[in-house]
Amino acid sequence: MLWYKAWLETRWIFLLFVGLMLLAWLTPLWMPAFGFRLPPGVSASRIWLGVHMGSLFISYFVANALAGSGVNSQTAYGPMPGPDGSMLFTLSLPVSRRRLLFVRAGLGALLTSALVVVMAGYTLFQRPGGASAFQAIEYFVRVFLCTMAIYALAVLFSCLLEVWWLFMAQSFFWMTLLVLQFKFSVVAWLSPLRGMSLISYPITAPMPWAPLLASVTLAGVCMFASVLVLERKEY
């Protein structure tokens, strides 16, 4: 029942991103029907660059939107802001908060991984020259692990903050990291944002283990901290 309840809470967000992906992929088909044409001289590599950057941008939003603590849910808008009724129902169930966290965060991670891997596969498909099966698997591993760092941090913030502040806190953290990685080589070496990029680490380059290990470490620390916060939080 917990898995089904978690699915009911996330299904429309998941289906929304599926629809956005399909709309983006079908763009070359419907654009000519409305008279849109690409400027002459635009190379395939520049088109692929736009597709890749767009997929990274969507991956960030997917990880943030599908992350959830499983307990700490609020309604930030409308005539009755405050704790959501489903949160009070969830807290009354005869299960531990740790299990609630693992179920809700686990389903969100599964759905996030599915969307991100599909988007990564489409990016490789659009890439000039394509990629071998081994290179594709390496890139899938990179994107999955680095996105899980973004997802786990969003889970932690959802345990600590109201819905209104969640996205702003996430954006501030990753924008700060993005600025720091351009100024400090050590930060750039470890940054998950670079680890998930085909531009920073081309598929022909060796596997970037430093961002992967940093992402796994960050995800583990955030999930452990989320458990500690939920088990001690008063509602």
Q: What average pLDDT score do residues 129-142 get?
A: 85
Tokens 């990880």 -> residue? 63
Half-sphere exposure in the Cβ direction for 180 (13 Å, CA) = 13
Q: How far is CA 132 from the centre of its chain?
A: 25
In terms of pLDDT, which residue wins out, 43 or 146? 146
Measure the CA–CA gap between 101 and 106, rounded to whole angstroms. 8
pLDDT of residue 121: 83
Closest CA to 90 of 105, 100, 99, 81: 100
Amino acid residing at 222: C
Task: Report the candidate in 188, 187, 207 with the shortest Cα–Cα distance to residue 143.
Answer: 207
pLDDT of residue 152: 93
Chain centre to alpha carbon of residue 148: 7
176-207 pLDDT tens trace:
998 998 889 899 899 998 888 888 888 888 89
pLDDT over 70 percentage in the chain: 77
Mean pLDDT score of the chain: 79
70 or 118, greater pLDDT:
118
Q: What is the pLDDT of residue 80?
A: 47
pLDDT more than 90, % of the chain: 17
pLDDT for residue 79: 47
Burial of 10 (0-12, 13-18, 19+ CB in 10 A): buried
Q: Which residue has the higher pLDDT, 135 or 69?
A: 135
- What residues contact residue 120 under an 8 Å CB cut-off, 6+ apart? 55, 139, 140, 143
pLDDT at residue number 39 = 59
36-to-31, 64, 174 alpha-carbon distances in Å: 5, 32, 35
User: pTM of this prediction?
Assistant: 0.84
What DSSP letter does each residue of 17-60 carry, written as one string?
A: HHHHHHHHHTHHHHTGGGT--PPTT--HHHHHHHHHHHHHHHHH
User: How many separate helices (H) and strands (E) can be counted in the chain?
Assistant: 10, 2
pLDDT tens sequence across 53-109: 777 777 888 888 888 766 665 555 544 455 555 566 666 667 787 888 888 888 989
Q: Band the pLDDT of 210: cuts 50, 70, 90.
A: very high
For residue range 44-56, what is the model confidence (pLDDT) as tens digits?
A: 566 666 667 777 7
Residue 43's contacts (CB-CB under 8 Å, 6 or more residues apart) are none
Q: How sure is the predictor about 117, in pLDDT bands with cuts at 50, 70 and 90?
A: confident
CB 158 within 8 A of CB 69: yes
The yes-or-no verdict on residue 135 having pLDDT over 50 is: yes
- pLDDT in the model for residue 21: 79
Q: What is the pLDDT of residue 212?
A: 94
Q: Is 41 exposed, middle or buried (0-12, 13-18, 19+ CB in 10 A)?
A: exposed
